[in-house]
């Protein structure tokens, strides 16, 4: 019998050489030979130089655009967040209720692009729409059930999905997006900053805030010269973005000795006056002649007989936050804010920051209160509390729907006045923690105060300040319907909760009278009832009070 052929010592190649591939025959090797048997027998060069086609179906990881990276998730679309009808409803709510507080789009242009489904063709507009949905869902938790359609367990989960979709879109369309800063990316990052914080995702929120600040600095949008090549619309959106970032930084530095964020501007090269937004309706911003007028809205926002533009509320909020900048620097806006040296990481500057905080005087507080009062007095009539009829805010009247514009001014009015009181309360607590009777001379009492009275003492006076802020807050809330407060989102809940919390301390150790203490208990009870009616997130989600810019 002929010997049985054996394959011992012979190896079959996992990939045929060029010659065997052409002949469509098996390619095998003997021992450690680098030449296959057939090429060796035929005295041919055994090579593997020809390009091979991949086996199986086309890999989904291969990009249509060789310069872009695609991930195995299929085409990104709105339906990955929610249905199209819900998507459009959320954006309608943004335009009606959230836009007055976060005016980071141009409404006519946005509506026009939305009508022709630009989000299905333009990845940048897709990301903007997703980010707007995220901040709206987080701002209006009372409507979460209608937004989620039972697809998400809570607000945070829906915001997380939106953030993931934005990230996937960035990775697939602009792989090096972090090194290619743009106005569009900056605006999306700001919106995701607010959405993340409102949803209780603090770390995520600070990451997006730092991202937005880096984009703003890279584009040098704090410099007037950087706006030369922008359109009138782009200029105004970037100015609004500057002040949103500024408000974030003010909150950060008021609440933390070592802030989470850097600066979005260079104090030596920032034109503060130029960066104030124009008080013009969005419909007028595309008119170059209007946008280039020398009118400075930041200095006068109510010196016109025409209807007050919606953006006036945002400009008024800017002026409220400018009132507290004296705690951070001297001579602002003008000379560079020196106190922002706190952003460096040295122990010496941190110690200086601690010292600065501990020496905040009641005199400083009174100056800030005076500035805030002056700012509120200069508000347009649509934003003033004193011009309202209390009967318009009765529970029976809440069901009467006014015009959308009136409702939008109601939202802004509540935000401005409650934010002003929140700032006073925050600074007051800083004074209270460091105040001693040794610096009582710094306190300038009002004419109605009697320093010779037995009950007068600096810490007692601080307690009375708390009580007066709480009283004024309840008066403001009397003019705000539940619908108006809910439209301001969780940030308003945090502000009310933080002010109410200042009344929970034990006043016995500072000589507070029993009558004043009983009055404080009544205020706390009133705040508890208000919060119970509007707090749709409850206490399961912790919203950081420092991020109540909205």
Residue 418 located in a structural domain: yes
The per-residue pLDDT for 466 is 81
Residue 472 counted as domain residue: yes
Of the two residues 545 and 372, the one the predictor is more confident about is 372
* Angle separating helix axes 123-139 and 84-93, nearest 10 degrees: 70
Position 243 in a domain: no
Q: Is position 224 within any domain?
A: no
Q: Which residue has the tokens 């400083």?
A: 364
| Within a domain: 335 | no
- 357: pLDDT confidence band, cut at 50, 70 and 90? very low
User: What per-residue confidence (pLDDT) applies to 256?
Assistant: 73
pLDDT in tens, 457-503: 556 677 778 888 888 888 888 877 777 877 776 777 778 888 888 77
Q: Which residue has the higher pLDDT, 286 or 496?
A: 496
CA 456/CA 474 separation, integer angstroms: 25
Measure Cα distances from 404 to 311, 412, 483 in Å.
Answer: 15, 13, 13
Domain of residue 32, residue span: 10-42
489 vs 218, which has greater pLDDT? 218
Residue 229 falls within a domain, yes or no?
Answer: no
Of 248-252, 266-270, 467-471, the range with the lowest mean pLDDT is: 266-270
Tens digits of residue pLDDT in 378-423: 888 888 886 555 544 444 344 444 578 888 888 888 888 888 888 8
What band does 548 get if pLDDT is binned at 50, 70 and 90?
very low
pLDDT band for 550, please (50, 70, 90 cuts).
Answer: very low
Q: Is the pLDDT of residue 366 over 80?
A: no
pLDDT of residue 210: 94
End-to-end CA, the chain = 94
What residues contact residue 225 under an 8 Å CB cut-off, 6+ apart?
none
- The yes-or-no verdict on residue 132 having pLDDT over 70 is yes
Whole-structure pTM value: 0.71
Domain membership of residue 50 (yes or no) is no
What does the alpha-carbon distance between residue 196 and residue 204 come to, in Å, rounded to a whole number?
6
What pLDDT was estimated at residue 488? 75
Mutual angle of helices 183-198 and 123-139, in 10-degree steps: 20
Residue 366, CA atoms < 13 Å, CB-side half-sphere: 10
Q: What is the pLDDT of residues 40-83, one digit of tens each?
A: 888 887 887 776 665 555 544 444 444 444 445 568 899 999 99
Question: Mean pLDDT over all residues of the chain?
Answer: 74
Q: How far apart are CA 321 and CA 318, in angstroms?
A: 5
Domain count, the chain: 2
Does residue 412 form part of some domain? Answer: yes
What is the structure's pLDDT at 54?
Answer: 58
Sign of CA dihedral 228, 187, 132, 307: negative
| Bridge partners of residue 11, in order along the sequence | 29
The confidence score (pLDDT) of residue 13 equals 64
Coil/strand/helix, residue 28:
strand
Q: Which pLDDT belongs to residue 347?
A: 34
């Amino acid at each position: 019998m002929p010997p049985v052929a054996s394959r011992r010592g012979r190896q079959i190649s996992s990939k045929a050489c060029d010659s065997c591939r052409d002949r469509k025959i098996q390619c095998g090797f003997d021992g450690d030979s680098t030449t296959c048997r057939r090429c060796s027998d035929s005295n041919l060069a055994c090579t593997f130089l020809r390009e091979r086609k991949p086996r199986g179906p086309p890999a989904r990881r291969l990009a249509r655009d060789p310069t872009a990276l695609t991930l195995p998730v299929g085409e990104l679309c709105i339906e990955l967040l929610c249905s199209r009808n819900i998507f459009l409803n959320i954006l309608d709510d943004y335009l009606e209720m959230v836009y007055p507080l976060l005016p980071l789009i141009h409404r006519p242009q946005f509506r026009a692009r939305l009508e022709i489904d630009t989000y299905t063709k333009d990845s940048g507009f897709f990301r903007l729409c997703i980010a707007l949905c995220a901040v709206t869902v987080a701002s209006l938790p009372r409507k979460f059930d209608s937004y989620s359609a039972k697809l998400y367990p809570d607000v945070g989960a829906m915001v997380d999905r939106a953030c993931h979709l934005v990230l996937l879109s960035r990775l697939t369309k602009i792989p090096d997006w972090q090194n290619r800063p743009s106005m569009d990316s900056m605006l999306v990052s700001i919106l995701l900053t607010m959405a993340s914080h409102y949803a209780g995702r603090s770390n995520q929120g600070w990451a997006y805030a730092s991202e937005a600040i880096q984009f703003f600095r890279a584009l040098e949008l704090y410099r007037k010269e950087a706006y030369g090549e922008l359109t009138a619309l782009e200029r105004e959106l970037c100015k609004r973005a500057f002040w949103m970032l500024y408000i974030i930084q003010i909150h950060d530095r008021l609440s933390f000795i070592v802030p989470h964020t850097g600066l979005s501007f260079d104090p030596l090269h920032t034109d503060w006056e130029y960066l104030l937004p124009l008080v013009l309706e969005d419909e007028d911003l595309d008119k170059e002649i209007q946008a280039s007028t020398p009118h400075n809205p930041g200095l006068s926002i109510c010196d016109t007989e025409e209807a007050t533009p919606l953006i006036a509320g945002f400009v008024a909020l800017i002026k409220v936050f400018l009132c507290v900048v004296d705690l951070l620097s001297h001579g602002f806006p003008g000379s560079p804010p020196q106190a922002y040296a706190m952003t460096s990481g040295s122990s010496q500057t941190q110690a200086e920051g601690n010292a600065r905080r501990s020496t905040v005087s009641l005199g400083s507080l009174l100056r800030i209160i005076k500035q805030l009062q002056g700012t509120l007095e200069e508000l347009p009539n649509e934003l003033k509390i004193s011009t309202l009829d209390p009967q318009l805010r009765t529970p029976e009247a809440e069901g009467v729907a006014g015009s959308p514009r009136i409702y939008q001014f109601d939202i802004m009015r509540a935000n401005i006045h409650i934010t002003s009181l929140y700032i006073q309360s925050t600074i007051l607590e800083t004074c209270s923690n460091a105040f001693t009777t040794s610096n009582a001379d710094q306190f300038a009492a009002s004419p109605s105060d009697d320093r010779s009275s037995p009950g007068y003492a600096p810490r007692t006076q601080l307690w009375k300040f708390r009580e007066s802020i709480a009283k004024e807050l309840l008066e403001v809330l009397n003019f705000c319907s539940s619908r108006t407060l809910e439209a301001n989102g969780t940030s308003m809940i945090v502000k009310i909760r933080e002010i109410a919390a200042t009344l929970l301390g034990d006043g016995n150790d500072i000589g507070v009278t029993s009558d004043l203490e009983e009055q404080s208990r009544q205020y706390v009870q009133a705040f508890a009832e208000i919060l119970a009616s509007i707090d749709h997130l409850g206490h399961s989600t912790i919203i950081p009070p420092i991020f109540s810019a909205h």
